[in-house]
Amino acid sequence: MSGNSQNTLKCDVLIIGAGMAGVAASIASASLGAHVILVESGLFFGGTAVRALHRDLCGWFANTVELPSSTINDGLAVEFVQRMIREPFLGKIRPMGRVHVLSVNPGSVRDMLGQWLTEYSGLQTQLHSRFVDLDYAAGHVNSVRIATRLTTQTIEPGVVIDASGDGAVIGACGAVAAETRVSERQYAGFSFFVTGIEGPGELLPIEIPYHLSHAVKSGVLPHFAKFTNFAPAHEIRSKTVSGTVKLSVPPEEFETEEAKNFAGAVHAELKQRLRTYANAEIRYLSPQIIRRDGLRLRGAHILRSREILSAKKFGDGVVKNAWPMEIWDQKHGPQFRYLAPEEHYEIPLRCLESVEFDNLLAAGRCISVSSRALGSTRVTGPCWSLGEQAGLHAARILTRS
């Protein structure tokens, strides 16, 4: 049941953040007939997957040697991949080292999600709108204030889902389990897309880090430049190659402007050192730094790294994941800890539920996990399915109440 008065909106489910988790939560709740309001501070849907220019979406498939025939999770994950591999988007499932990923154009993710969200009459989206604060009492969120371009709205939701990525809602109401210590925070990410690299480009993923490592040794670039990698956008045997240069930057020292300056320095250095890169041009940059750490919910269960590596299953397990623990350590660079072949672990529903609030859920990067376990759960595949499960559970909470 929902409606609005002169100054206040009412809805069944309010979702903060329209990244992968938030969009999936919206679709799941709306598909059950809930009136949903989806709020996003940016200008498009898809969150980090789009802002970070991700060309390879991780965590969608089982830990198998063969090319997977379906997703590791059922439900909306299956439909997401099916929509992305059809025309006009033409995504592809491909191997990447010991795992498989869904290779896409980030703009295609944005466009496909935007189209999908229009299919539900009870789903209202608000872009360029940000969470401000909330009112709560006796373990219940009563109202949430949202700032739009023109005004400030008050929304009275039945259930709130924090899919913000940075834990905006759970931080405002004190439902935080922990924040990663500064000394343990991982490198943030920043990317730029380049065109005009002379092909063929089979060796670019090796050549770019190699030349940047030499620039670090000579003192031209800071030490973290050596952790840069390159993701080609299309067939690397063509005459010219384009792709995403993915940077690692210190999370405390860098804001977006510093990251843009660093991207320019890396680009200039590559033009000097790598002959095939001499005529490359930056077409666009990430609009902001992508931080890998953030506030996380105080849930009834905290998922830990040992449970991931031991492929633990739970009675209330709702999401499967086989993606390795991916840690972007500031001292040693990227580190990966894989599950055994064919294995997966489960994420229990308790990691989505607040122990203090009866109508607050978390999805995506905000769920109840340890800082190292977050290295596995934060990628797009599990975030999407976590969002779906949060949306379904929100509908169950509404039915009970």
DSSP, residue by residue, 244-297: EEEEEE-TTT--HHHHHHHHHHHHHHHHHH-GGGTT-EEEEE-SS-B-S---EE
Going by C-alpha positions, the residue among 116, 131, 118, 228 that lies closest to residue 170 is: 131
What residues have CB less than 8 Å from 322, skipping those under 6 apart? 59, 61, 62, 63, 72, 99, 339, 343, 344, 345
Per-residue confidence (pLDDT) for residue 200, from 0 to 100: 81
Sign of CA pseudo-dihedral 60, 65, 70, 73: negative
> CB 382: neighbour CB atoms within 10 A?
27
Report the C-alpha gap between 125 and 286 in whole angstroms. Answer: 23
Report the C-alpha gap between 162 and 318 in whole angstroms. Answer: 18
Report the C-alpha gap between 309 and 3 in whole angstroms. Answer: 46
Per-residue confidence (pLDDT) for residue 184, from 0 to 100: 80
Per-residue confidence (pLDDT) for residue 252, from 0 to 100: 83
For residue 58, give Cα distances in angstroms to 234, 288, 321.
18, 21, 10
Structure tokens at 187: 């490198």
- DSSP 3-state of 391: helix
* Residue with token string 């802002």: 51
For 187-285, the fitting CATH number among 3.30.1370, 2.30.29, 3.30.70, 1.10.3470 is 3.30.70
Going by C-alpha positions, the residue among 190, 187, 226 that lies closest to residue 206 is: 226
Structure tokens at 237: 């045997």
Report the C-alpha gap between 132 and 162 in whole angstroms. Answer: 13
CB-CB contact of 47 with 380 (8 Å): no
Per-residue confidence (pLDDT) for residue 4, from 0 to 100: 47
What is 8-181+294-400's CATH number? 3.50.50.60
pTM for the full predicted model: 0.93
What residues have CB less than 8 Å from 66, skipping those under 6 apart? none
**Region for 219 from its dihedrals, namely left if φ exceeds 0, alpha if ψ lies in -120 to 50, beta otherwise:** left
- DSSP 3-state of 77: helix
Report the C-alpha gap between 214 and 375 in whole angstroms. Answer: 29
Going by C-alpha positions, the residue among 39, 10, 16 that lies closest to residue 143 is: 10
What is the domain partition of the chain in residue ranges?
A: 8-181+294-400, 187-285
For residue 33, give Cα distances in angstroms to 158, 179, 191.
14, 35, 39
Report the C-alpha gap between 22 and 368 in whole angstroms. Answer: 16
Going by C-alpha positions, the residue among 123, 140, 142, 158 that lies closest to residue 45 is: 123
Say if strands 140-147 and 152-162 run parallel, antiparallel, or are unpaired. antiparallel
The rounded average pLDDT for each run of 10 residues, N- to C-terminus, in the chain (401 residues) is: 61 98 98 97 94 94 92 98 93 92 94 97 96 96 95 96 96 83 86 92 92 97 95 73 94 91 98 96 94 92 97 98 95 92 96 97 96 96 98 95 74
Q: Is the link from the previous residue into 251 a cis peptide, with omega within 30 of 0?
A: no
Report the C-alpha gap between 391 and 363 in whole angstroms. Answer: 9
Per-residue confidence (pLDDT) for residue 393, from 0 to 100: 98
Per-residue confidence (pLDDT) for residue 238, from 0 to 100: 66
Per-residue confidence (pLDDT) for residue 232, from 0 to 100: 87
CB-CB contact of 247 with 191 (8 Å): yes
Structure tokens at 242: 């384009």
